[in-house]
A and B are shown apart, each in its own frame.
Chain A
């Protein structure tokens, strides 16, 4: 990167999308540094520090366990494992996206003073969420090992693919929304509500088959949610129970069908990335003035 920084640099009003990707790639080392910074800032002045990233899903687990298993008497077996296998990856998506949305405004001090591809900032927020996810994932896998849970080995290779898909989606939407948030500061508030609705539109707390198993257009619309394939792959691989006493929980699809459904995530992510990068490029010119 040192050599890259010494090359001629051209500054003009518009930079093509391809050139943008090249610039981000050149600054990949900075992305790692910014991700580290993101985590440091987040846990600075907090007593529990990184432990928070483990406490958070634990609290979710308690709340949903009480609400669904105790009060509503839903009968998903091994509910904690079911919930966590979807929730962790959802949290990766939602914290990554909401962090990214506020990233340009939150780093105004840097944006106003130093030049670097600004896309690094939303991407670093997603990166920070990924680090948290990895920590939680390790604990989750340890828990699976302790209870000797039968994971679906043949579906595990799909997990990295799903992970890439969700990172791409969060990064793409994050780039788009972070730029919009500079001009419309309530984007982040709006996003909070949208994410809440989105959460319930995704089969995390309840099994996919309760809605996705129905016939008709409502289930078709439901299946258009690009996060659903990712959550399903995680559930299919780790939770692994397709049904419980004849009541369907997860779709009884083959490996290929799950992979095909993941195509939806990648498709939406690539469209979002194209739109996001071009909108970001248009709006970026005036970031320093708006902040």
Chain B
């Protein structure tokens, strides 16, 4: 028995048309002169995925990872090379798993199941499980076009994991849906791993790769730059980001925004998402004292490295400008992790730093001797207000970020200093 997935020298070329001529009339007018650029989305991808392995495809937006996944799923055909897959393959690409909007959830489950190669009676057997997993009991006989995007994703995932696939391809879907559903999906992925099924999933969330993959492949502009252990791959991914044109941490930002956006749409009758505490305060800012610049420095770190290692030092410099002499001013910062949990927060008053009346330009520096976190992207909020916190002068909610990379295989969030001693009683 060979590998579950063999990708042999696969390249995929796209043509980017500057203008689309989709009708015969237009094609006649512009005959042979359709301007386009060629662009290789994937170049010479070559790897195998063993049966039962969980492999992550890491890359920033536009790195070709989704294109490669689509090729493996058989939806796009590679321009060169070939792909062999062994076993029933279920793919979850972006939103939804290929539903027909006019059909009901029930009808779509049957149609989808039969596309994936299941007989009708086999689908009937797992039907209830699919509906229960998707939590769509009340809506299953409703046309899918009336579904919210969250319901769509839930149904798609539920079908894909319940049709007994040997290979599961997942594209980012774990980033959508509410937290409870995400957890459920991850549990199911873990179960699949135990059952020895093959999972290939595309993500730009390094944390997820570390958590569930045996191996990860990093793509950058269609080229495979790393194929190694998750730790190594995440490091290479971060380094590529730091040197790449995409800029530091941009993908993570996108991830965060997708989560927020879809979570808002998930609920069936949920009210519009409420503004966070910080956003409300930011909206009320009077701008008597403005934040002009926030700089996050990594003293003692090679300038080419855009991330911190655990326990390295960091300084957050908040530069401000007061348009009039202002007494009673307080400067605060907050640090949140990518999932929005507050990790740390302080201000000049808590820290006992005397702030005299401010006027004109100035700077407040928050120096950290050590940043004791292990891994991840952290968002920094900065605020200037009165010491009773009654009036907000300026508030930048999670506008800045820094990144910490854990080179070891320690897991968790906090870098506890640890020394392990082993002893044993012997007779």
Contact = CB atoms under 8 A, between A and B. Distances in A.
Interface string B12-39: 0010000000111101000000000000
Contacts of B70: 288
Contacts of B80: 13
A184 B27 contact: yes
Contacts of B72: 11
Contacts of B117: 1-2, 4-6
Interface string A82-113: 00000000000000000000000001011111
B53 interface: no
Nearest to B27: A184
B112 interface: yes
A160 interface: no
A283 to B, nearest CB: 11
A7 B88 CA distance: 8
Given A37-B111, A114-B97, A11 B78 contact: yes
B71 A11 contact: yes
Nearest to B92: A113
B114 A30 contact: yes
Contact of A41 (B96, B103, B114, B116): B103
Nearest to A4: B117
A8 B75 contact: no
Contacts of A215: none
B38 to A, nearest CB: 13
A202 B47 CA distance: 57
B97 A37 contact: no
A220 interface: no
Nearest to A8: B86
B74 interface: yes
A183 interface: yes
A190 B76 contact: no
B193 interface: no
B116 A11 contact: no
B85 interface: yes
B96 to A, nearest CB: 7
A115 B107 CA distance: 19
B97 A113 contact: yes
B85 A40 contact: no
Contacts of A112: 75, 93, 98
A29 B120 CA distance: 9
Interface string B69-101: 011111111111111111111010110111111
Contact of A184 (B22, B81, B88, B143): B22
A33 B111 contact: yes
A224 B71 CA distance: 43
Chain B contact patch, size range: 35 or more
B102 A44 contact: yes
B114 A9 contact: no
B316 interface: no
B77 A33 contact: no
Interface string A106-141: 010111111110000000000000000000000000
Nearest to B112: A114
A8 B97 CA distance: 22
B75 A115 contact: yes
B23 A185 contact: yes
Contacts of B22: 183-185
Contacts of A1: 117, 119
A40 B116 contact: no
Contact of B110 (A11, A13, A33, A114): A33
Contact of A109 (B101, B110, B116): B101
A288 B81 contact: no
A81 B112 CA distance: 43
B122 interface: yes
Contacts of B375: none
Nearest to B4: A8
B103 A11 contact: no
Contacts of A187: 24
Contacts of A5: 88, 116-117
Contacts of A51: none
B118 interface: yes
B397 interface: no
Contacts of A110: 98-100, 115
A4 B117 CA distance: 8
13 contacts: A12-B77, A33-B110, A33-B120, A41-B103, A109-B101, A110-B98, A111-B75, A111-B98, A112-B75, A112-B93, A113-B98, A190-B24, A289-B14
Interface of A: 1-2, 4-13, 29-30, 33-34, 37, 40-41, 44-45, 107, 109-116, 183-187, 190, 284-286, 288-289
Interface of B: 2, 14, 22-25, 27, 70-89, 91, 93-94, 96-103, 107, 110-112, 114-120, 122, 143, 166
Q: Which 8 A-B pairs have the closest CB atoms?
A: A5-B117, A115-B74, A113-B98, A12-B82, A285-B77, A114-B98, A11-B83, A33-B114
Given A13-B78, A33-B110, A110-B115, 13 more contacts: A2-B119, A8-B85, A8-B86, A11-B72, A11-B77, A11-B84, A12-B81, A12-B82, A33-B120, A37-B100, A110-B98, A114-B75, A285-B76
